[in-house]
Amino acid sequence: MAFLTEHDKIYTTKEDICAHVGDDYADFMGAVTPPIFQTSLFVIPTEDNGVGELGYNYTRVNNPTIAVAERKMAALEGGEGALCFGSGMASITAAILHFVKKDSHVVMVRSIYGVTRVLLCDYLTKKLGLRVTAVNGDSTDEILAQVRPDTALIFLESPSSAVFKLQDLKAIADFARPRGIGTVIDNTYATPLYQNPLTYGIDLVCHTVSKYLGGHSDIVGGVTIGSRQRIEQISGERFLLGANMDPHQAWLMIRGIRTLPLRLRQHAENALKVARFLEGHPYIQRVIYPALESFPQRELVNKYLSGYNGLLSFVPDGTPDSIRKMISKCRHFQHGVSWGGFESLIVSISVGAGKEDAAASDVPVNLVRIHVGLENAGTLIEDLGQALKYLRQ
């Protein structure tokens, strides 16, 4: 757990925060990058039974390298504090458990990350008796109409990570907060650079660090950001559940964040070129990318997003078999499920899914998702061009 220091507040632009928040040169012997405090234990004076004057006693509780990563994230999201976790799912689980108790009701947007959906609709439903109402999330009224007297939480992922559906964060927070209903958002798609949900009144923001924050496909991690009071409470839960990040992971996360603005700009520039190519291709039925004029929720995009990234989806005009073949023929896009690293990836999200499966997750049948990496855009377009021919062969 770490909170912003007075010194952190001198950095006010996203680029400066990414580069410098947490650079405590005097504490780190002048080192420009903070050291990896690869230690489980911190000794404390015998007269002190707590955490000692430096605030550390055991890495499951807290660690100086992890604290630097947390301060960067708190500053980037406009929160008072942040908590890093061993994975994005751990950060999401902690945020959900913060608000729900046995038999609570939760309203959830259908198009959220599949594992979060299983956590809410299956695991926590069976374990805690949660009652979950899944909504399409097409309009604020549709979401709020499902709120009941026992609703403890509205869970959002906006934009979501397969069809990029957005919700009106301010309208939902304005409704939920006075009624004591918690709001949590998975903000991974937008990153803290392009959308700050806390500023609209959302209670807790979660990110998987495994995507753009890390940026190099070499770490799995998560982070939750919010008010001092909430972060203090969740810190106790993180300690009990043993879900803290590892210091080396945190160090890689800090390094990733330093170049986040640069990388995102390049991902988005490449992705727009690829998206326009796909939109003009005769074998493509539909391209879903928030930066395109054809994106259905342009109003919400303009209201909430200040930038884009490398993730986009499309529906090819093909059979499940021809789509699989097309994917297998890519040479530069590798077949893989994640996103947010330097590399280009392609994956089928619902190829051949039964209509019911697809409707359950609000994802169109035959949806293919690509992550446009930092390679040369021309190479990537050429690669897709040659692979798309296999939809007809």
Ligand X SMILES: Cc1ncc(COP(=O)(O)O)c(C=O)c1O
Q: Name the minimum Å distance from CB 283 to ligand X.
A: 27
Q: Which is nearer to ligand X, 114 or 385 (CB)?
A: 114
**57, 140, 227, 338: residue in contact with ligand X (rule CB under 6 A):** 338
Residues 79, 190: Cα–Cα separation, whole Å = 16
* Residue nearest ligand X, Cβ-based: 88
Dump the DSSP string for 301-322.
Answer: HHHH-S---SEEEEEESS-HHH
Q: State yes or no: residue 87 binds ligand X (CB under 6 A).
A: yes
* Helix 260-279 × helix 247-258 angle, to 10°: 70
Least CB distance to ligand X at residue 269 (A): 22
Measured from the CB atom, the residue of 113 and 277 that comes closer to ligand X is: 113
Residue 33 vs 338, nearer CB to ligand X: 338
What is the smallest separation between the CB atom of 167 and ligand X, expressed in angstroms? Answer: 14
**Total binding residues toward ligand X, as defined by CB under 6 A:** 12
Instruction: Tell how strand 131-135 and strand 105-109 pair up.
Output: parallel
Judged by CB, which is closer to ligand X: 116, or 196?
116
As measured in angstroms, the least distance from the Cβ of 312 to ligand X is 14
Is residue 104 within the footprint of ligand X (CB under 6 A)?
A: no
- Cα dihedral sign, 357-362-368-371: negative
Nearer to ligand X, 219 or 268 (CB): 219
- Considering only 89, 243, 305, 312, the residue that binds ligand X (CB under 6 A) is 89
Cβ count within 10 A of residue 30: 7
Check binding of 220 to ligand X (CB under 6 A).
yes
Out of 11, 99, 113, 314, name the contact with ligand X by CB under 6 A.
Answer: 113
Is the Cβ of residue 203 or residue 383 nearer to ligand X in the bound state? 203
Task: Find all residues with CB under 8 Å of 30, minimum gap 6, and list them.
Answer: none
Nearest to 71 by CA among 26, 28, 9, 27: 9
**Cα–Cα dist 40/21, whole Å:** 24
Residue ranges of alpha helices (H) inside 78-118 are 88-99, 114-118
Q: Which of residues 127-186 bind ligand X (CB under 6 A)?
A: 161, 186
Question: From the CB of residue 111, how many other CB atoms can be counted at a distance below 10 Å?
Answer: 23
Tell me which residue has tokens 């980037």: 76
Q: Report the residue count for the chain.
A: 393
- DSSP one-letter code for 107: E
Closer residue to ligand X in complex, CB, 210/350: 210
* The two three-digit tokens of residue 228, written as one number: 């001092």
Q: With binding defined as CB under 6 A, does residue 246 bind ligand X? A: no
Q: Does 313 bind ligand X (CB under 6 A)?
A: no
* Closest separation in Å from C-beta 88 to ligand X: 2
Q: Is position 111 an interface residue for ligand X (rule: CB under 6 A)?
A: no
Binding flag, residue 341, ligand X (CB under 6 A): no
Q: Which is nearer to ligand X, 4 or 368 (CB)?
A: 368
Interactions with ligand X, residue window 190-219 (CB under 6 A): 208, 210
How far apart CA 389 and CA 380 sit, in angstroms, is 15
> How many CB atoms lie under 10 A from the CB of residue 304?
22
Q: How far is the CB of 367 from ligand X (least distance, A)?
A: 15
SS3 108: strand
Point out which span in 12-20, 85-93, 352-360, 374-382 binds ligand X (CB under 6 A).
85-93
CA distance 53 to 310: 44
The gap from C-alpha 352 to its chain's centroid, in whole angstroms, comes to 27
* Selected range binding ligand X among 17-25, 81-89, 271-279, 313-321, rule: CB under 6 A: 81-89
Residue 382: CB minimum distance to ligand X, A: 28
d(CA 393, CA 378): 24
The residue ranges that bind ligand X (CB under 6 A) are 87-89, 113, 161, 186, 188, 208, 210, 220, 222, 338
